[in-house]
Structure 1
Amino acid sequence: MTPMMHAPLILDVAGLELTAADRKRLRNPLVGGVVLFARNWQRREQLAALCAQIKALRPDLLIAVDHEGGRVQRFRTDGFTPLPAMRELGTNWMVDAPGSMRRAAACGFVLATELRACGVDFSFTPVLDLDWGGSTVIGDRAFHADARVVTVLAQSLMLGMARAGMAHCAKHFPGHGFVRADTHLDVARDPRSLDAIWAADAAPYQWLAPGLRAVMPAHVIYPEVDAQPAGFSKVWLQEVLRERIGFTGAILSDDLGMAAARANGQSLSQAALAGLEAGCDAMLVCNQSVIEGGRPLDDLLRELGQAMRQGRWTPDARSAQRRLDLLPTQPALPWDELMVSDTYLAALDAMHGTEAQG
């Protein structure tokens, strides 16, 4: 598929089914995807119907969700398997490293097959942040404090997802685990030098780069490197991630609705333009459809369209292709078939630590 238009926005929708306003926004050629939340979930049949509505409008839209495991799992009932927090896998590593790798791969497969059976294309996982012990927003979402353990377990999880036909998104580059502030609510600054971050938090990105499909930068400021948060920094995205690390996949911003993304009072469109200029391929905009009937999204689409027509922003075919490359390329098993699949049942056993019988 040759992209005719860079569709750089991933937007949320309001409820359990598409409204007329949702449909109008998703038809806009600036929109490349949809991010789902718990408010978009009631049961599996409803979720599948919502995803089918989205794909009926535009098959190229990427349907995404934050579905990591532990406390970040949007769909938890009606058959969805409760996934462990990633710290649990890291703790198990210290006792049984091969078994922990096996469990991580199984988690990735279960996570991806269940989502895909309901029509979801993509999950923003795994977290590559190191567990430095002070971050409550990251906390048990991190695999471990050791970059080597994080790398191996994340790779195992990503392999499980890939077997199910789902791409992944490593986050939050170059590392969110050292800072205590929650960027949803406040500005976060990491005072360390580039060398210190490169040797620790950024190491998993270096080691995994040839196989990474997508990366989400942190809304954290690293003042020793750049005055801008990483997701708005050419230094981090172009000089470090693209050139020094050699990452060639999609760069997807963290949510522009977060306080740290617009700490200086920028509008959504100003933040989106800044992120695209810095090197992001797509900008994530969450929880705006429920504000004043989605007025912030309508303003964003209008203002970004004006910026394009005025030459302040130019669509990039390479960015469009990177987004399209995240869409699944193999068919998903329907839920009822998945539930009796030998591969899925074996993955469930492995995820729960059941020993393989030989």
Structure 2
Amino acid sequence: MEGGDGMFRFLVFRLLFHSLVLLGAVPEIEYSYFENDKSDLVDINVFLGRVDFSNVLRERYFFVGIRNVSNPTAVQSLSKDAIDKLKEINPVGIILFRENFKDAQQTKKLISELKKYLGSDIFIAVDEEGGLVSRTGENEKLGVYKFPAMESVGKTGDAQLAYKIGEILGKQLRRLGINLNMAPVADAKFSPDSPLGSRTFGYSSYNIGLMIEAFIDGIQRQGVFAAVKHFPGLGGTKVDTHKDLALLPYSKNFLMINNFVPFIFGKEAKFIMLAHVLVPKISGDVTSMSRDIVNI
């Protein structure tokens, strides 16, 4: 675990996503609806406070999901066995998926229980990228706006739009008690057939950088941390890393010019999620387990 330039580098294990298809143009967003909504349910100062990362992370390493693997049913409340197991693991954070959500009331209760048993400083995370990776946005009962895929947003070239999306998501996730969003995607696509699909802001590293910088600023000003991903960048990969190990056959200099630029723009993000790829010209270990990658 190492910190630098305001960013905390650590390993977040592989998460399940679906391949995406390119979505259409950005729909009109009724900004006034969100701006006039003053129903904040969480005091930002209490919710965020002055987080002491060195204390929060001490002897805690894992983000875990709450899933019933043996009996694939939705886990939307905590049993005694689940509480005991979570206490034993002592995770630094919990990542919630679509099956963990029923409605806003149930979600707030679940998160309240997690904080009660695991500590008020625990991170409650979700994947809310927009498009098809919208764990909360796809459930209308949660009150989180489902935004279009970020490639559509990137095509506008409007960083203020990216800021506004981050701001709105921050407000709405915070009301549920979620304090970490596993977004934005900072990967640059090298070709139209990239397994990244429409999850990324596009092809231009510079434009992606402007977009994620604005998104991060928007969401973190609302008290929700951003996790920029997937370092060192999935641009140039041809394999979906949820299905197989992908290869980045490039040098460090090549990656600095083509892959790293968006992550430099995203330096204010408090978290970086590592990709699960192999970069043999930098390390013999998979990136999610490589100290050489973490220390770049």
TM-score, with structure 1 as normaliser: 0.62
Whether the aligned pair in 2 keeps the contact of 1:83 and 1:111 (CA below 8 Å) is: no
Note if 1:41 corresponds to 2:41: no
CA distance in 2, matches of 1:12, 1:21: 15
Q: CA-to-partner distance for each residue in 1:112-138, whole Å, 9 max, x for gaps?
A: 111111111111011100022255541
Given candidates 69, 74, 91, the residue that maps to 2:135 is 74
CA distance in 1, matches of 2:259, 2:172: 31
How far has the Cα of 1:145 moved from its partner?
Answer: 0.8
Match of 2:196 in 1: 138
How far has the Cα of 1:80 moved from its partner?
Answer: 2.1
Given candidates 156, 171, 193, the residue that maps to 1:92 is 156
Q: CA-to-partner distance for each residue in 1:252-287, whole Å, 9 max, x for gaps?
A: xxxxxxxxxxxxxxxxxxxxxxxxxxxxxxxxxxxx
CA distance in 2, matches of 1:21, 1:134: 46
Residue type of the alignment partner of 1:221: L
Residue type of the alignment partner of 2:121: D
Q: Show structure 1 runs of 5+ residues with no match.
A: 94-99, 241-358
Aligned residues: 232
TM-score, with structure 2 as normaliser: 0.74
Whether the aligned pair in 1 keeps the contact of 2:209 and 2:264 (CA below 8 Å) is: no
Segments ≥4 residues shifted beyond 4 Å: none
Given candidates 195, 209, 212, the residue that maps to 1:154 is 212
Q: Which moved more, 1:133-142 or 1:75-84?
A: 133-142
Match of 2:64 in 1: 11
Structure 1 or 2: more helix by fraction: 1
* Secondary structure at the counterpart of residue 8 of structure 1: coil
* Secondary structure at the counterpart of residue 196 of structure 1: helix
Match of 2:22 in 1: none
* Secondary structure at the counterpart of residue 102 of structure 2: coil
Q: CA-to-partner distance for each residue in 1:151-180, whole Å, 9 max, x for gaps?
A: 111011111102211111110011112112
Match of 1:223 in 2: 280
Whether the aligned pair in 2 keeps the contact of 1:168 and 1:214 (CA below 8 Å) is: yes
Q: CA-to-partner distance for each residue in 1:194-224, whole Å, 9 max, x for gaps?
A: 2111111112223443x23111111010112
* Secondary structure at the counterpart of residue 125 of structure 1: coil
How far has the Cα of 1:29 moved from its partner?
Answer: 6.2
CA distance in 2, matches of 1:206, 1:159: 14
Whether the aligned pair in 1 keeps the contact of 2:163 and 2:218 (CA below 8 Å) is: yes
Q: Percent identity?
A: 25
Whether the aligned pair in 2 keeps the contact of 1:134 and 1:179 (CA below 8 Å) is: no
Match of 1:256 in 2: none
Residue type of the alignment partner of 2:55: P
Match of 1:190 in 2: 248
CA distance in 2, matches of 1:101, 1:234: 33
Note if 1:127 corresponds to 2:185: yes
- Alpha carbons of structure 1 residues 164 and 225: separation in structure 2 relative to 1, 3 Å: same
CA distance in 2, matches of 1:17, 1:30: 18
